[in-house]
């Protein structure tokens, strides 16, 4: 009896197993979806690499590691920022970390050439104007001084961080998960350093606007949530959240949900933010011609 059961089970399994592969093609699909999810953040890594490289050194990827740009157009408006020695040191380290991130992603998947990036002072001024709902006078210049550069930096790695948190549960392949965990770790670290440096001077006024550093971060965070259009996933330095940390400490040196877990964002939400207009189908902001890769292109193709 037992041996008949075993034989029957074996026969049933040998019929079912190949079918289950064809019905549920995890094996052939998962690497493909992983590839799409892994190439998407290249957009943000290029943006960060160029903004930090220019800010710290006055030149970008074309000077440092031209092969990684793969012939993509040079960014618009990058400049050496007026930084003190400590900040320049930190930002230069971030810049080279982004170069490493680009290399690590491209070693895992084919990727794409650098998209056209707009990191001009006008691009950042527009974000700050949107954050305040009025034109700042004079227009905000991210490259003018340490505080402005840190506020401009506040705009970027956090978006990458939420993207990696959102991507992680979608990944199938252990190699992809390992890569994303590694990227997420350092991206969060960068965000934490920027936030800590700003937290230290949160009550200072941002010259000449008469508005505190803390208020700038709150406005930027509120704008990101508005553009992302999918709930509360952003916390400025002075946004005393009802929820965390445990509702028992006042400040928000780091962002997190009610259990102090990092928020995740989808590629659509990220595109809405980095395009600056809240629409994943309408390029602009840091990406005047749109982001690259299958996921980003799929939204661009929807416009006629
Ligand atoms: C860069 O951004 C600014 C501000 O939005 C805009 O005025 C300028 O035309 C942009 N440059 C390009 C080439 O898209």
Compute the distance between CA of residue 79 and CA of residue 81 in angstroms, rounded to an integer. 6
Asked, as a colleague might, if the bond just before 196 is cis with ω within 30 of 0, I would say no
Report CA(118)–ligand 1 centroid distance (Å).
6
Of the chain, the percentage scoring pLDDT greater than 70 comes to 87
What backbone torsions phi and psi does residue 204 show, to the nearest 5 degrees? Answer: -70, 150
Q: What is the per-residue pLDDT for 31?
A: 73
51, 77, 118, 284, best to mutate for ligand 1 pocket (most atoms within 8 Å of CB): 118
What backbone torsions phi and psi does residue 226 show, to the nearest 5 degrees? Answer: -65, -45
pLDDT surpassing 50 at residue 14: no
pLDDT surpassing 80 at residue 2: no
What backbone torsions phi and psi does residue 211 show, to the nearest 5 degrees? Answer: -125, 140
Residue 209 CB contacts under 8 Å (≥ 6 apart), including other chains: 136
Report CA(286)–ligand 1 centroid distance (Å).
8
- How many CA atoms lie within 13 Å of 103's alpha carbon, on the beta-carbon side? 11
User: Helix, strand, or coil here: 297?
Assistant: helix
Question: How close are the terminal C-alpha atoms of the chain, in Å?
Answer: 66
DSSP notation for 77-109: S-------HHHHHHHHHHHHHHHHHHHHHHHHS
- The verdict on the CB of residue 76 being under 6 Å from ligand 1 is yes
pLDDT surpassing 80 at residue 67: yes
Across the chain, what does the average pLDDT equal?
89
Asked, as a colleague might, if the bond just before 151 is cis with ω within 30 of 0, I would say no
Q: What is the per-residue pLDDT for 5?
A: 55
Are 122 and 77 in contact by the 8 Å Cβ rule? The answer is yes
- The verdict on the CB of residue 123 being under 6 Å from ligand 1 is yes
Domain ranges of the chain: 28-244+251-300
Mean pLDDT confidence for 104-132? 96
Q: What is the per-residue pLDDT for 238?
A: 85
Q: What is the per-residue pLDDT for 241?
A: 59
Report CA(100)–ligand 1 centroid distance (Å).
28
Tokens 């590694």 correspond to 182
Express each pLDDT in 232-277 by its tens digit.
999 899 876 555 567 777 778 999 988 889 999 999 999 999 999 9
Q: What is the per-residue pLDDT for 301?
A: 74
pLDDT surpassing 90 at residue 7: no
What backbone torsions phi and psi does residue 85 show, to the nearest 5 degrees? Answer: -60, -40
Report CA(14)–ligand 1 centroid distance (Å).
60
Are 224 and 162 in contact by the 8 Å Cβ rule? The answer is no
136 is written with which tokens?
């700042």
281 is written with which tokens?
């189908």
pLDDT surpassing 50 at residue 101: yes
Express each pLDDT in 36-46 by its tens digit.
999 999 999 99
């Amino acid at each position: 009896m037992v041996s008949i059961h075993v034989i029957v089970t074996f026969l049933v399994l040998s019929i079912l197993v190949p079918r289950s592969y064809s019905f549920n093609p995890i094996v052939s699909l998962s690497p493909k979806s992983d590839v799409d999810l892994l190439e998407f953040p290249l957009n943000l890594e290029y943006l960060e690499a160029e903004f930090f490289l220019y800010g710290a050194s006055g030149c970008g990827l074309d000077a440092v590691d031209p092969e990684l740009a793969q012939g993509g157009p040079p960014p618009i408006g990058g400049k050496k920022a007026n930084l003190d020695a400590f900040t320049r040191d930190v930002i230069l380290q971030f810049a080279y970390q982004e170069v490493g991130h680009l290399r690590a992603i491209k070693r895992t998947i084919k990727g794409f050439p650098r998209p056209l990036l707009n990191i001009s002072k006008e691009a950042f001024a527009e974000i700050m104007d949107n954050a305040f709902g009025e034109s700042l006078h004079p227009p905000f210049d991210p490259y003018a001084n340490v505080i402005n550069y840190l506020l401009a930096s506040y705009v970027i790695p956090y978006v990458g961080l939420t993207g990696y948190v959102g991507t992680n549960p979608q990944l199938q392949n252990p190699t992809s998960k390992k890569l994303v965990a590694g990227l997420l770790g350092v991206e969060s670290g960068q965000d934490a350093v920027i936030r800590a440096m700003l937290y230290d001077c949160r009550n200072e006024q941002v010259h000449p606007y008469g508005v505190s550093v803390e208020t700038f971060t709150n406005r930027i965070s509120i704008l990101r949530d508005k553009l992302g259009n999918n709930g509360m996933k952003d916390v400025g330095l002075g946004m005393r959240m009802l929820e965390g940390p445990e509702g028992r400490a006042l400040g928000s040196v780091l962002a997190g949900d009610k259990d102090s877990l990092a928020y995740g964002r989808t590629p659509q939400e990220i595109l809405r933010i980095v395009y600056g207009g809240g629409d994943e189908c309408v390029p602009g902001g840091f990406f005047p011609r749109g982001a690259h890769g299958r996921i980003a292109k799929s939204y661009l193709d929807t416009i006629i």
